[in-house]
């Protein structure tokens, strides 16, 4: 019987667990190393990395909530932010999806390269699909990187939505994905809004937070090992040049510049299997198989199942 992605990764995790003590999987504590530099923030940055739009949507809700509370807010994809400007903000929130039980590699690299932001209150938020996996630790990891740069932790949250990982439905887990088709909903967006207010309250009351990682065996295979596991079950990734309209969407979404539209090829060594190209291609020109079955993107899944992700009411006001 064929394995789906989750079965394959769980088997790999079991092998790793026999060689590594589970207690090392995550027991770190993240806390403030110094005081908040300003308790009455005048401006703020809400930054995100988002491939299918969920994290971006949550970021916009946070930005709108802070704006309604009198903060001058700049909201942007991290790929469009000058890192050197981070020190000019009184408050920063960063958001990321969970990829392979961890932060996406481009997010981790981007945060590692930011300058010191000593005393700046920082908040982390994470989006995840379906039941998720190692979600809490992913958020802790992000807050830890920000803290190492001198940021003062003032908030952390995770928000669930429908999964956006093509191997899931190609591997026969369509029903498990569609089980969460109602998310995010207005209840989700209200939780995001309340989170934004809580973060601002913590800053004004000078109340940094302290968070701890959980023991989770998925810490053992997160990132590269989990990506390798999926690569082992995927076929050659190419572009169908008879379908491609050269719109450039996949180029803008690819974080590693692995795509060559002219030749219709993708560098397998550079590709990190984020599926930003496949999920966003308007004509499904990206050709790739998973366990022998042709994959199709998230937007196509939405279309086939007549699903529309709602716009939060707060963004309409």
Contacts of 100 (CB under 8 A, 6+ apart): 222, 223, 226, 227, 230
User: First vs last Cα of the chain: how many Å apart?
Assistant: 52
User: Confidence class of residue 227 from pLDDT cuts 50, 70 and 90?
Assistant: very high
CATH superfamily of 25-220: Flavodoxin domain (3.40.50.360)
Please say whether the structural domain 226-304 has been given the CATH code 3.30.70.20.
Answer: yes
Supply the DSSP symbol for 61. H
**Pairing relationship of beta strands 286-287 and 289-290 according to DSSP bridges:** unpaired
Q: What is the DSSP string of 220-268?
A: GTTTHHHHHHHHTTB---EE-TTT-----HHHHH-SS--EETTTTEE-T
Segment 292-311 mean pLDDT:
96
Per the CB < 8 A criterion, the answer to whether 205 and 155 are in contact is: no
**pLDDT of 284 above 60:** yes
> pLDDT of 79-127, one tens digit each?
999 999 999 999 999 999 999 999 999 999 999 999 999 999 999 999 9
Q: What is the DSSP string of 133-148?
A: SSHHHHHHHHHHHHHH
164 burial class (0-12, 13-18, 19+ CB within 10 angstroms)?
A: buried
CA distance 132 to 101: 8
CA distance 49 to 94: 8
Q: What is the pLDDT of residue 107?
A: 97
**pLDDT of 18 above 90:** no
Domain boundaries, the chain: 25-220, 226-304
């Amino acid at each position: 019987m064929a394995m789906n992605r989750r079965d394959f990764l769980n088997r790999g995790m079991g092998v790793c667990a026999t060689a590594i003590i589970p207690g090392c999987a995550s027991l770190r504590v993240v806390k403030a190393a110094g005081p908040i530099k300003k308790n009455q923030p005048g401006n703020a940055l809400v930054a995100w990395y988002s491939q299918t739009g969920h994290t971006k949507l949550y970021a916009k809700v946070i930005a709108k909530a802070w704006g309604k509370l009198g903060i001058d807010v700049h909201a942007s994809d991290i790929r469009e932010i000058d890192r050197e400007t981070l020190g000019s903000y009184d408050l920063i929130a960063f958001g990321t999806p969970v990829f392979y039980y961890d932060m996406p590699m481009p997010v981790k690299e981007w945060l590692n390269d930011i300058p010191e932001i000593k005393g700046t209150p920082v908040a982390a938020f994470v989006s995840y699909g379906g039941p998720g996996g190692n979600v809490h630790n992913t958020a802790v990891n992000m807050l830890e990187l920000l803290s190492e740069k001198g940021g003062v932790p003032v908030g952390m949250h995770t928000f669930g939505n429908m999964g956006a990982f093509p191997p899931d439905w190609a591997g026969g887990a369509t029903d498990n994905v569609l089980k969460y088709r109602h998310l995010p909903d207005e209840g989700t967006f209200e939780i995001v809004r309340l989170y934004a207010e809580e973060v601002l309250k913590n800053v004004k009351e000078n109340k940094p937070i302290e968070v701890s990682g959980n023991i989770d065996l998925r810490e053992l295979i997160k990132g590269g090992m989990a990506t390798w596991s999926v690569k082992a079950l995927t076929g050659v990734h190419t572009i169908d040049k008879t379908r491609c309209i050269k719109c450039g969407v996949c180029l803008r979404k690819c974080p590693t510049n692995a795509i060559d539209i002219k030749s219709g090829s993708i560098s397998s060594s550079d590709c990190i299997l984020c599926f930003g190209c496949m999920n966003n291609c308007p004509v499904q020109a990206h050709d790739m198989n998973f366990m022998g079955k042709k994959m199709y993107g998230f937007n196509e899944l939405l279309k086939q199942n007549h699903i529309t992700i709602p716009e939060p009411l707060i963004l309409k006001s």
